[in-house]
Amino acid sequence: MSKNVLVTGGAGYIGSHTCVELIEAGFNPIVIDNFSNSSSVSLERVEELTGKKVCFYEGDVRDRQFLDTVMQAEEIDSVIHFAGLKAVGESVEKPLEYYDNNISGSIILFNAMRDNGIKKVVFSSSATVYGDPHTLPIKEDFPLSATNPYGRSKLFIEDILRDIYYADNHWQVTLLRYFNPVGAHKSGRIGEDPNDIPNNLIPFIARVAVGQYEYLSVFGGDYDTPDGTGVRDYIHVVDLAKGHVKALQAFEKDDLDNLLTVNLGTGQGYSVLDMVKAFEQSSGNEIAYKIVERRAGDIATCYADPSYAKEVLGWQAERGLREMCDDTWRWQSQNPQGYAA
C-alpha cells in the first residue's frame, strides 16, 4: 500500500501540524495549497522540523486539470481535505465565495478522486454543525444545523460525502468534527498565522499579550455559565493533528464502518476568562480586557463527548490548557509577525 496522502490546504494552520505528525508516523504527505490563507514558509518549517522534503504543488482544489496532474503523478492512497475558507463573519458577507471555495472545491476534488481511483477521505468538519445543542456534552448523533454560510458549507460537504458513501460503499469516509483548535508545535516554529485581525479568541489574546492590541473584547458577560462568559472545548492542534493520523490508520482496520463521524475535542470546557488567566500565566503579561456585547451567532457553551474517538480511533487528547497556552505563547513571541518576517 502506498503511504502517499494528498493533503489539501496542507500549508495552513492545522494542515502544517498534521504534515509533521504524518511524516513522524511514516506517511508521505503530498501537499496542495493555493496559499490564499497561508505561506510556503510553513512547509519549509515542516521540512526543518522533520528533516524530510515535503512534496508540494501550488494550485487550487477547484482546478480539475491541476488535480488530475497531481493524482496521476503521485501514487495517492488517501486524501485529507483541509482546503477551504473558515471565517464565519466573512462567510456572511461573501456567501458565494464560501460556497464556491468550500462546496464546489469539494465536489471537484471528490470527482477527481473517484475518476483516479482514490476512495479514502478524511474531511475537516467542525463542531459548528451542532448549532446550539440542547444538552451537553455533545455526541456525534446530536441533531445538526447551521446558522451561517460557513457552517452550512461544512454540513453540505458532510451530506455530500455521506451520499457518496451510500452510493458506493467501497469509499472510506471519516468526518472529523473539530472543537476549538489552539496551540502550536512545541518548537515554536509553526503555528496559527491569521492574515487579518484574528476572529478567534486565542490568536487575539496572543496579540494582546505581545502588545499588538491594547485589550481583548470579551463578547458577553451574561451567559448562563459559571463566570458569565462563553465556554468552549479548546483542543491542542498537535492532538488534533494526531487524530488525523489515527483516522488514516483506522482505514486499514477491517472491523470498523467505512463511514465514521468523530468528535475531536477534549471533553473539558473553559470560559473566556479561564483562557485569559491561563494565558497571563504562560506569557507573564497582563491581558487587559473589556466585557462588551455578545457576538451575534455565539452560543453559551460547547464541549464534546470525546468517547467515540477513543473507541473507534484509539485517540484522545493528551495536552492540557497550560500546554496550549505555553505553546501558543512560544510561537507568538518568537514570530510576532507570523511567517511574514
Q: What residues act catalytically?
A: 150
The CA distances from residue 330 to 187, 191, 195, 209, 319, in Å, are 8, 9, 19, 11, 15
β pairing state of 270-271 and 231-232: antiparallel
329 binds, options ligand UD1, ligand NAD, none, Cβ within 5 to 8 A by partner type: none
Q: Does residue 199 belong to the site contacting ligand UD1 (CB under 6 A)? A: yes
All residues at 6 or more sequence positions from 217 whose CB lies less than 8 Å from its CB, including other chains? 289, 290, 292
**Residue 288, Cα to own-chain centre: how many angstroms?**
28
Q: Does residue 175 belong to the site contacting ligand UD1 (CB under 6 A)? A: no
- The Cβ of residue 305 has, within 10 Å, a number of other Cβ atoms equal to 16
Provide, for the chain, the percentages of residues in helix, strand and coil under a 3-state DSSP scheme, each rounded to the nearest 5. 40, 20, 40
All residues at 6 or more sequence positions from 102 whose CB lies less than 8 Å from its CB, including other chains? 84, 85, 150, 153, 154, 157
283 binds, options ligand NAD, ligand UD1, none, Cβ within 5 to 8 A by partner type: none
Q: Does residue 201 belong to the site contacting ligand UD1 (CB under 6 A)? A: yes
Q: Does residue 35 belong to the site contacting ligand NAD (CB under 6 A)? A: yes
Instruction: Please list every residue from 142 through 171 that binds ligand NAD, using CB under 6 A.
Output: none
Q: With contacts defined by CB under 6 A, name the span among 23-31, 132-140, 213-221, 276-284 that binds ligand UD1.
A: 213-221
C-alpha cell at 145: 444545523
Q: Does residue 278 belong to the site contacting ligand UD1 (CB under 6 A)? A: no
Instruction: Please list every residue from 221 through 250 that binds ligand UD1, using CB under 6 A.
Output: 230, 232
Which residue ranges make up the site for ligand NAD (CB under 6 A)?
Answer: 8-9, 11-15, 33-38, 60-62, 82-84, 86, 101, 105, 124, 126, 178, 181
Which residue ranges make up the site for ligand UD1 (CB under 6 A)?
Answer: 86, 88, 126, 128, 150-151, 180, 199-201, 204, 216-219, 230, 232, 272, 295, 297-298
